[in-house]
Amino acid sequence: MKWHQAHTTWFFETFVLRPFLPDYKPFRDEFRWLFNSYYNSIGEAPPEKRLRASFSRPSLDQVLAFRSHVDEAMERFFAGRIDDDAARRIMLGLNHEQQHQELMLTDIKHAFFSNPLRPAYDVNPLVETRDVSPAEFMWHRFHDGVTELGYPIDSTNCLDFCFDNETPRHRVYMEAFGIANRNVTCREYLEFISDDAYGSPEFWLSEGWEAVRNNGWRAPLYWERDATDSTGWRIFTLRGWHPLSALLDTPVCHVSFFEADAFARWRGCRLPTEGEWELAASGSSIQGNSLDSGRLHPAIASGEGIDQLFGDCWEWTASPYTGYPGYKPLPGALGEYNGKFMSSQMILRGGSCVTPASHIRATYRNFFQPATRWQFTGIRLAA
């Protein structure tokens, strides 16, 4: 948590204050490389990523003092005239910080699960606020045709924000397709497990089958055997352990791309492409079970329209992460923010129950390596 706090602070110091505030004095010179994440063009190499979580120094007090120092300088900066380039960087810094707020919760969940005491982040258990019967599975059909994808950025307005990888807006031709009205539930995923899908190579991509065998995957991350529950499983949440029987109609989450893809094959379907997902989401308002709901876990689908597009779980798509036609990374070191990761990762859409609502858009492209499971990642089917 100290690292996230210091690194988001570092972002404003490095990309806003040092270049744009003339009399700015950096807090500590070594923080320039200590809290860099992955920007190679900035100079001295940052510490190894796997060691970040184990630094006992600088202390929390020092990290908070660094934050106050940068906050005060930002206040001074805001008092003067801010040019468009600086304003765009501040917008990026704020969106970057929102990404780290989400990562803090997914890291806390993983750290608490790795702790033998298995503590709860929030000790109040999940309660269903409404008596919902889960939405029946349905297909929503879309005709073939030419559509536009990507964010229509207004380049004359420095406060109009999207990440560089969401541009340029461009045309694509899509065949007719169907997309599911909701996410795959734990109940449906339990059938996949009970059918010995984890032991059946025919459902898996080659790398996925290798991951199943090497990691001993038999269920999503955070599922554990529990003989006291009728399902035989319990799930670790940010609100501690819950029997699977109480969560059967909620979306399955913390599955890898390989598991999402194997589930779709097992059901005789496939995952949506990112274009199909974006077209399906383009008419929807950004409502859903996001961080703002305070639930901190995916919730049962309500049953209206195409549900759960925003919030609940990031949805794995069948699309590899590449640049759109005509894509240009931001100039300078900030070009490393998104552009250099365009290999060996898959696109996810829609945000999760720990994504701030003001952070997500229909055009938003998240990306992770296909074996990643510690984010709130789930499944929507397409055909």
Which of 37/106 has CB closer to Fe ion?
A: 37
Q: From 36-44, 87-95, 173-181, 185-193, give the range in contact with Fe ion by CB under 5 A.
A: 36-44
How far apart are the C-alpha atoms of 254 and 119, rounded to whole Å? 19
Q: From 33-41, 46-54, 62-70, 313-321, give the range in contact with Fe ion by CB under 5 A.
A: 33-41
Strand bridging mode 310-311 / 288-289: parallel
Least Å distance, CB 314 to Fe ion, is 17
Least Å distance, CB 260 to Fe ion, is 25
Least Å distance, CB 98 to Fe ion, is 11
The most distant pair of C-alpha atoms in the chain lies apart, rounded to whole Å, by 66
Q: If you ran DSSP here, which 8-state letter would residue 141 be given?
A: E
Least Å distance, CB 15 to Fe ion, is 11
How far apart are the C-alpha atoms of 107 and 347, rounded to whole Å? 20
| Residue 192 dihedral angles phi and psi, to the nearest 5° | -60, -45
Residue at shortest CB range from Fe ion: 37
Which of 236/337 has CB closer to Fe ion?
A: 337
Which of 184/354 has CB closer to Fe ion?
A: 354
Least Å distance, CB 224 to Fe ion, is 31
Contact status, residue 176 vs residue 144, Cβ threshold 8 Å:
yes
Which of 90/318 has CB closer to Fe ion?
A: 90
Least Å distance, CB 97 to Fe ion, is 9
As a whole number of Å, the CA-based R_g of the chain is 22
Contact status, residue 4 vs residue 108, Cβ threshold 8 Å:
no
Structure tokens at 269: 């379907």
**Position 37 contacts Fe ion (CB under 5 A):** yes
Q: From 31-39, 115-123, 149-157, 367-375, give the range in contact with Fe ion by CB under 5 A.
A: 31-39
Exposure b/e, 294-328, CB count within 10 A at least 16 = b? ebbbbbbbbeeebbbbbbbbbbbbbbebeebeebe
Residues whose CB is less than 8 angstroms from the CB of residue 144 and which lie 6 or more positions away in sequence, other chains included: 173, 174, 175, 176
Least Å distance, CB 243 to Fe ion, is 36
Q: From 21-29, 34-42, 236-244, 351-359, give the range in contact with Fe ion by CB under 5 A.
A: 34-42
Structure tokens at 82: 């801010």
Give the helix/strand (H/E) hosting 145.
strand 145-149
How far apart are the C-alpha atoms of 221 and 256, rounded to whole Å? 9
Q: From 35-43, 128-136, 178-186, 206-214, give the range in contact with Fe ion by CB under 5 A.
A: 35-43
Give the helix/strand (H/E) hosting 225.
strand 223-225
Which of 37/284 has CB closer to Fe ion?
A: 37
Least Å distance, CB 4 to Fe ion, is 8
Which of 92/300 has CB closer to Fe ion?
A: 92
Total residues at the site for Fe ion (CB under 5 A)?
1
Please work out, in degrees rounded to the nearest 5, the angle formed at the alpha carbon of residue 347 by the alpha carbons of 343 and 352.
140
Q: From 32-40, 145-153, 281-289, 303-311, give the range in contact with Fe ion by CB under 5 A.
A: 32-40
Which of 121/341 has CB closer to Fe ion?
A: 341
Which of 105/306 has CB closer to Fe ion?
A: 105
Which of 10/189 has CB closer to Fe ion?
A: 10
How far apart are the C-alpha atoms of 199 and 137, rounded to whole Å? 26
Q: Which residues bind Fe ion (CB under 5 A)?
A: 37
